[in-house]
């Protein structure tokens, strides 16, 4: 099915409205001109009649040929100038003189007027009437009594010629031709402006959107416009950049997940196959089975972390918000990680401003946050180094910081540590971390409407600080 263009429909509607308005304007101008012309014609007719009254008075008084000729001349002038045929009637209504041979058949006959009573006519006004000629054609007419010194001389009957004067006719043509030209110009200019400012840019945006939908995420559009279309183009480019970044993240994520899964699976497959095939000696089987067990645990951690990220991002889990003692949770997490701390011979220093620091949060999720931060400090801290944990209230928040001595994070990489699978120390084996701990920490805190930050401390180590909502009744 052929698609309908919104712009074309708009232009058709606009052109139709413009045409109707111009037609109304044309009709008003034509009607106004016709009324003005009719009034002016009546005024001129009155002047001609006044002139003829004197000639008719001379004819009736003296019956001279000179006066009759002047009357005929004035009737001819009226006929030519006003495009009307005058007929002179006597007191009884008989036709005395005509200006056009077309009406010669009326001469010396009584003119029958069904809608006019001659006795009621006065010299003060011209009365409109209707004349039907010998061809049964209806014509507009006017009649007026001719009076001289209170004496009725007769009547003048003027018949309009249905054929308009050439210049009047041409004037109407000019009015409508100008309106037609105005319509064509308005429609053409409107189409050009709409095409340049709306149709073409929208077509560019549509084409770019179709290409992006087919995978060409690098596609951009460039429209030099400061209006809504320009804003739409800028928004489209911003969206395209976001899609491109998301596509890069998606591809990197798939690549990283594939790599993280392939490595332990390859190890597990190799060791199991070696044991089954008898390549590995019996006395070494337990050693390699322990390695396989470590790899399976690593896979389990990776899958669990991926599931955590998926549920956190989709919002499919519900926080169990309760009142917790963050100091108690930190103490518990330290005890749980005591073996790992001793393996690196690290010293843990805990500074609590208050013996108890109550917060509003999900207990299990905050345990996960503190555990991840402590494991991160142990993994990347120096052997025989130091871990310092501090909590202190400030306003409606409780601040928790975890510091470890060791290599600092390069300034350009401070924001990258929140990315999935990012590992600051490239020399470390992938077995140490899944690279998902810190992204999970930030997602959990975001769900609590809190945030976390990281900073290097005077080239001595790295410090993470996050906030929690404080219990108000403390």
Q: Are strands 84-89 and 151-160 parallel, antiparallel or unpaired?
A: antiparallel
Instruction: Answer whether residue 379 shows pLDDT above 50.
Output: yes
* Contact present, 320 and 363 (Cβ < 8 Å): yes
Among residues 393, 365, 389, the alpha carbon closest in space to that of 376 is found at 389
* Contact present, 354 and 393 (Cβ < 8 Å): yes
Among residues 66, 82, 243, 87, the alpha carbon closest in space to that of 154 is found at 87
Instruction: Answer whether residue 390 shows pLDDT above 80.
Output: yes
Please state the rounded mean pLDDT for residues 307-318. Answer: 66
Buried b (16+ CB within 10 A) or exposed e, 107-146: eeeebebeebebeebebeebbebebeeeeeeeeebbbbbb
Mean pLDDT of the residues in the chain: 79
Give 350's pLDDT tier (boundaries 50, 70, 90). very high
Higher pLDDT, 447 or 6: 447
Give 2's pLDDT tier (boundaries 50, 70, 90). low
Domains of the chain (ranges, CATH numbers): 6-168 (3.30.450.20), 217-317 (1.10.287.130), 318-470 (3.30.565.10)
Give 1's pLDDT tier (boundaries 50, 70, 90). very low
Give 427's pLDDT tier (boundaries 50, 70, 90). very low
Instruction: Answer whether residue 359 shows pLDDT above 90.
Output: yes
Question: pTM of this prediction?
Answer: 0.48
Please state the rounded mean pLDDT for residues 165-173. Answer: 68
Give 401's pLDDT tier (boundaries 50, 70, 90). very high
Please state the rounded mean pLDDT for residues 109-113. Answer: 80
* Contact present, 89 and 182 (Cβ < 8 Å): no
What does the pLDDT read at residue 392?
92
Please state the rounded mean pLDDT for residues 134-145. Answer: 82
What does the pLDDT read at residue 195?
76
* Contact present, 357 and 325 (Cβ < 8 Å): yes
Instruction: Answer whether residue 67 shows pLDDT above 80.
Output: no
Please state the rounded mean pLDDT for residues 185-212. Answer: 80
The percentage of residues in the chain with a pLDDT greater than 70, rounded to a whole number, is 84
Q: How far apart are CA 193 and CA 210, in angstroms?
A: 25
Buried b (16+ CB within 10 A) or exposed e, 34-66: eeeeeeebeeebeebbeebbebbbbbbeeeeee
Give 430's pLDDT tier (boundaries 50, 70, 90). very low
- 237-270: per-residue pLDDT in tens? 888 888 777 777 677 667 666 666 776 788 788 8
């Amino acid at each position: 099915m052929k698609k309908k263009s919104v712009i074309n429909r708009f232009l058709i509607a606009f052109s139709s409205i413009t045409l109707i308005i111009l037609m109304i304007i044309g009709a008003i101008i034509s009607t106004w001109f016709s009324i003005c012309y009719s009034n002016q014609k009546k005024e001129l007719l009155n002047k001609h009649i006044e002139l003829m009254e004197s000639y008719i008075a001379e004819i009736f008084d003296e019956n001279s040929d000179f006066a009759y000729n002047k009357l005929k001349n004035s009737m001819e002038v009226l006929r030519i100038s006003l495009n009307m045929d005058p007929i002179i009637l006597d007191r009884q209504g008989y036709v005395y003189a005509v200006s056009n041979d077309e009406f010669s058949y009326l001469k010396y006959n009584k003119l029958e007027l069904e809608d006019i009573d001659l006795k009621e006519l006065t010299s003060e006004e011209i009365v409109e009437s209707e004349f039907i000629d010998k061809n049964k054609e209806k014509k507009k007419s006017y009649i007026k009594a001719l009076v001289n010194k209170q004496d009725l001389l007769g009547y003048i009957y003027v018949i309009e010629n249905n054929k308009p004067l050439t210049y009047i006719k041409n004037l109407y043509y000019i009015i409508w031709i100008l309106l037609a030209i105005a319509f064509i110009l308005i429609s053409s200019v409107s189409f050009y402006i709409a095409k340049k400012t709306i149709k073409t840019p929208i077509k560019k945006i549509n084409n770019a959107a179709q290409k992006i939908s087919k995978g060409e995420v690098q596609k951009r559009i460039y429209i030099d416009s400061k209006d809504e279309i320009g804003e739409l183009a800028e928004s489209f480019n911003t969206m395209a950049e976001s899609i491109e970044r998301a596509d890069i993240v998606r591809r990197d994520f798939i690549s990283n997940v594939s790599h993280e899964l392939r490595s332990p699976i390859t190890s597990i497959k190799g060791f199991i196959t070696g044991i089954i095939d008898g390549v590995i000696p019996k006395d070494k089987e337990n050693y390699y089975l322990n390695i396989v067990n470590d790899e399976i645990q690593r896979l389990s951690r990776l899958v669990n972390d991926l599931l955590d990220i998926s549920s956190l991002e989709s919002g499919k889990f519900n926080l169990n918000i309760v009142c917790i003692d963050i100091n108690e949770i930190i103490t518990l997490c330290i005890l749980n990680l005591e073996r790992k701390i001793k393996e690196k011979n690290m010293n843990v220093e805990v500074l609590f401003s208050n013996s108890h620091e109550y917060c509003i949060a999900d207990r299990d999720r905050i345990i996960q946050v503190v555990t991840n931060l402590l494991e991160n400090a142990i993994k990347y801290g120096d052997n025989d180094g130091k871990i310092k944990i501090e909590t202190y209230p400030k306003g409606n928040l409780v601040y928790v910081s975890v510091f470890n001595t060791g290599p600092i994070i390069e300034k350009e990489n401070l924001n990258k540590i929140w990315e999935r699978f990012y590992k600051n120390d490239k020399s470390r084996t992938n077995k140490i971390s899944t690279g998902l701990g810190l992204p999970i920490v930030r997602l959990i805190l975001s769900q609590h409407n809190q945030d976390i930050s990281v900073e290097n401390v005077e080239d001595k180590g790295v410090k993470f600080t996050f906030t929690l909502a404080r219990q108000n009744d403390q």
